Amino acid sequence: MSKRIIAIALVLSLLVLPASAHELTIKASSNEMKEGQAFHATVQSAHKFIIPEEVEILSRVKAGIIEDGKLIESELKANDPELCIDFSVTPKDLSGSVMLVAIKDGESWCVTNEGGKSGARKDLEAQGLKVLSANKYDKYAKAIFNTSKGDKNFSQVLGHPLELIPITNPADLKAGDYFDVKILLNGQPYTGPVWATYDGFVKEYENSYAYYTEAENGIAHVKITAPGWWGVRAAQSGLPGVQGDYDNLNLRAFVLFEVK
């Protein structure tokens, strides 16, 4: 191949790099909460649901419990042996379901002529690199614990830029039922892909989900096919970026809950 063709092939191979980044989720070893007692959970980042793969940079992550609609941030600890971030919360009120949240404020991620690099487009260009694309991935995960029939806390709206808001109370779900969910993108009804899967469905392969559907006018229906810890996910790519920093903002969101 001529140098020019090699250069074109290189650019093409970089452009088709999978856009599927690590997904941010929350997992706890037990779903039993006790009032006033520490409850331990983890923030996970992985390509497989829900097998931890990477410890995110602590300074870019926030996690904790929702009280009165607000995130009470917990102290985060990198758990290097288990490839996740540990945190604990102390639920004060177990009369309804309890929501834990993890948020990742992504850094600008650039595909350059020297491979993938984090940093603002203008800074990398100032170092003499050719930047082919610059993307920011912001991720939101909410996990619902201590669900109970007649509760309303599970449907709290937190105002995340991309947010899945259950319509169906997870406490009412069993295999065979539909989980109905409202999805908002910057407060407006989201239309787009929705994936769902449950813990243990596929352990061997990345980016594999048990169910796919599309939300229309902000509503999706997910068929629950097994008991266990479920995750329902939406994604929006290609939102406007910030000039000089990143070209596109990409949002990823999960809602997680247990089906008994």
What does the binding site for Cu ion look like in residue numbers (CB under 5 A)?
21-22
Nearest residue (CB) to Cu ion, 18 versus 240: 18
Nearest residue (CB) to Cu ion, 21 versus 83: 21
Q: Kindly state the smallest distance separating residue 86's Cβ from Cu ion, in Å.
A: 21
Nearest residue (CB) to Cu ion, 168 versus 250: 250
Q: Which amino acid is at 206?
A: E
Q: What is the residue-wise DSSP string for 7-37?
A: HHHHHHHHHTS----PEEEEE-S-----TTS
Q: Kindly state the smallest distance separating residue 158's Cβ from Cu ion, in Å.
A: 24
Q: Kindly state the smallest distance separating residue 150's Cβ from Cu ion, in Å.
A: 39
What is the C-alpha to C-alpha distance for residues 111 and 19, in angstroms, rounded to an integer? 11
Residue nearest to Cu ion (CB): 22
Strands 219-223 and 178-185, sheet pairing: antiparallel
Q: Which of 24, 241, 16 is nearest to 143 (CA)?
A: 24
Q: Kindly state the smallest distance separating residue 47's Cβ from Cu ion, in Å.
A: 6
Nearest residue (CB) to Cu ion, 21 versus 94: 21
Q: Which of 145, 147, 135 is nearest to 241 (CA)?
A: 135
Q: Kindly state the smallest distance separating residue 22's Cβ from Cu ion, in Å.
A: 4
Residue 172 exposure: Cα atoms within 13 Å on the Cβ side: 13
Question: What is the signed CA dihedral for 182, 72, 27, 146, rounded to 10 degrees?
Answer: -70
Nearest residue (CB) to Cu ion, 22 versus 233: 22
